[in-house]
Amino acid sequence: MRVSGFALCIAMAFAQIVQPGAPGQPGKVLSAAEAKISVRPPTQADIEFMQAMIVHHSQAVEMVDLLLKRGSSKVLQGFGKRISVSQADEIESMRQWLRDHGQPTEMGHAHMHHHTPGMDMSKMASGDVPVMPGMLSPNQMKTLAKSSGRAFDQLFLTGMIQHHTGALDMVDDLLAAGGAEQDNLLFDFVTDIDNTQSAEIKIMQSMLAKAASPKPVLKDKR
């Protein structure tokens, strides 16, 4: 099972800090105060980012569940499983991070929709508007759930590329927020998202190009 860099950092955060003793003497386990570790509280932008990313990751896991039932490519299904395992693991780590900071693991309804200027809000009621950047809208999810075979595979790849791109946009928004991302664990998580999902987008773009290309036709030689 793949363990994300963020989950690994969560585990390391609980490691003991030991001060070496004099020659022949045992070391001393230091408290955070003794080690003079300064912990800067997360900003509101940090908290909302983690709450939103839980929702974002959860849809990706749901999309992979559909892939395993309705997709046709074993290679794509194997790739999807790796995404699902990684993101499910990160969801639990994000929830733990929020609990450790005394924050709710679910975001308020007021932050569930990220609108852009000029957006036609009448489309929200029709199910055409995603709850946050990159996520599939309710109608897109319904279309995906009704598809199967190669058509599903192409829709999945297109949708997951959109999904990953939205996650990168959310990272950019966090980086633009003043004073955000000072928490070491959060910084490592954001870096992991940026690196991993950027690489996965390139892989999926290559898969999509191959899926869209017509199969070669053998000509009869006469």
Query: Each residue of 1-15: pLDDT tens digit?
Result: 444 555 545 444 444
Is the pLDDT at 97 greater than 60? The verdict is: yes
Query: Each residue of 161-179: pLDDT tens digit?
Result: 999 999 999 999 999 988 7
Q: What is the pLDDT of residue 30?
A: 53
CATH superfamily membership of 41-104+130-211: Ferritin, core subunit, four-helix bundle (1.20.1260.10)
Q: Is the dihedral of CA 198, 203, 93, 188 positive or negative?
A: negative
Angle between helices 44-70 and 74-100 (to 10 degrees): 150
Whole-model pTM above 0.85?
Answer: no
Distance between CA atoms of residues 98 and 96, nearest Å = 5
Q: Which helix (H) or strand (E) holds 62?
A: helix 44-70
pLDDT band at 183 (very low <50, low <70, confident <90, very high): confident
Query: Each residue of 24-78: pLDDT tens digit?
Result: 556 666 555 554 444 578 999 999 999 999 999 999 999 999 999 999 999 999 9
In our burial notation (b when 16+ CB lie closer than 10 A, e otherwise), range 50-77 reads: bbbbbbbbebbbebbebbeebbebeebb
Q: What is the pLDDT of residue 41?
A: 85
